[in-house]
Amino acid sequence: MKVLIVDDSSFIHLVCKQAFEKAGHTVLDGAFDGEEAVEKARDLQPDVIVMDIAMPKKNGFEATVLIKEFAPDVPVIAVSAVDEDWIRDKAIEAGCFDFLPKPFETLKLIALTEGAFQDGGELKYG
């Protein structure tokens, strides 16, 4: 599974990259803002995307909507430090497969992304 990690935190990139690689997955060159996320998703064609919500240039909601226009079957897992129902609802409305609040356990993130990939990216909620 090829994973694109989109987050404005270098620490999140590092932690996720190590966890996904340890689980045997390929981590693509990551994105640090919403605009870069759209470009990298188009160019690198990931199997699954881990998408932060609060980022510069375009937020995770906006980036997900744009990515879904050209890659509707790629599951997007939204992550955010704000764990509120409206964030979860808006993420699902934007086209995300699921939502995981930060801080998260990397094993839970990996299981969720593997499940999304195996399910063909069909929305868990929504």
- Residue 57, domain extent: 2-118
Q: How many domains would you assign to the chain?
A: 1
What is the pLDDT, as a whole number, of residue 125?
Answer: 41
pLDDT in 10s for each residue of the chain, 126 residues: 999 999 999 999 999 999 999 999 999 989 999 999 999 999 999 999 999 999 999 999 999 999 999 999 999 999 999 888 999 999 999 999 999 998 888 888 888 888 887 765 554 443
At residue 121, the pLDDT reads 53
34 part of a folded domain: yes
Structural domain includes residue 62: yes
User: Domain containing 78 — which CATH number?
Assistant: 3.40.50.2300
Alpha helices in the chain (DSSP H): 10-22, 34-44, 60-70, 85-94, 106-118
Residue 88 lies in a domain: yes
Residue 18 lies inside a defined structural domain of this protein = yes
- Residues 60, 63: Cα–Cα separation, whole Å: 5
Q: Enter the pTM of the model.
A: 0.90
Residue 124 placed within a domain: no
Residue 125, in any domain of the structure? no
CA distance 117 to 38: 19
Q: Is residue 123 part of a domain?
A: no
**Are the CB atoms for 21 and 10 separated by under 8 Å?**
no
